[in-house]
Amino acid sequence: MLFSSHVPRWLQVLLAEKFFNACIVHEEAKKNEKNIFCLDCCISICTHCFHPHCSHKLLQIRRYVYHDVIRLDDATKLMDCSFVQSYITNGAKVIFINQRPQTRQFRGSGNFCTVCDRSLQDPYLFCSLSCKVNYLLRTEDGLSKFLFECNYLPLNDSGLDDGLVTPDSVLEPSCSTRTSSGSGGYEEVWCRALASTATTMEVVRKKRTTLTVCRPTCPAVSEVSGSLMNRRKKTPQRAPLY
């Protein structure tokens, strides 16, 4: 359904493109992964291809656990992304471009993606951008009401990067779950509870470190044994003769 007359060309390519493959034009160069998407040309490019496209509308593609994500701020300039679950990584909110495969299909109680049944937090309805697009194509007369006209979309102020989430960065559900309807919810309290738990764990860790530093050190067993063996015996004294 994505390849229909109701879906603009740039969106079709974005949802179908395989990012982070090596650039054929710059296959000998370092950091030649194609992690930038040009909306004007509808192609993915690497950092070495950037200069001819510098005046075009560009999206920086990032990756977390082998899945592509884009910044929510960039996505909302292009289309309505309400009710798509967002996450926080490297200090910025991101959303997944496509739905992720699930190891098992289990639908218990709770909130789930309207399209692929992935477990979500309230009040989200979609796990990815593609799931929302698929849903709108089934229930609405095209996407025109949900697409925005964007004439200028440069890369963010942080500049070009490799798009990979570093090991020190943790992807976590966004604490702010407010949407256009203004709904908040229990997730803000949940996030504060997580922060409190992290603080408690840090205090315990510091206490353990202090105890380790103050613990008296004992000589090794081998050192004690060697000291006893090397000790010289005194010359025995004879008993006095009477």
Cβ distance 128 to 120 under 8 Å? no
List of residues 6+ apart from 229 with CB closer than 8 A: none
Evaluated on CA atoms 187, 189, 192, 193, the torsion sign reads negative
What's the token pair of residue 17? 């493109």
Specify the DSSP class assigned to residue 52. Answer: G
Burial class (CB in 10 A: 0-12, 13-18, 19+), 155: middle
Place of tokens 């034009």: 25
| 103-156 pLDDT per residue, tens | 776 666 789 999 999 999 999 999 999 999 999 999 998 899 999 999 999 986
pLDDT of residue 142: 84
Q: At 166, which amino acid appears?
A: T
What residues contact 169, with CB distance under 8 A and at least 6 apart?
89, 90
10 Å CB burial of residue 201 (0-12, 13-18, 19+) is: exposed
Note the pLDDT of residue 226: 53
Q: What integer pLDDT is reported at residue 163 of this predicted model?
A: 67
Predicted local confidence at residue 236, as pLDDT: 63
**Nearest CA to 38 among 17, 24, 21?**
17
pLDDT digits (tens, 9 = 90+) for 185-218: 434 433 443 344 444 444 444 444 444 444 444 4
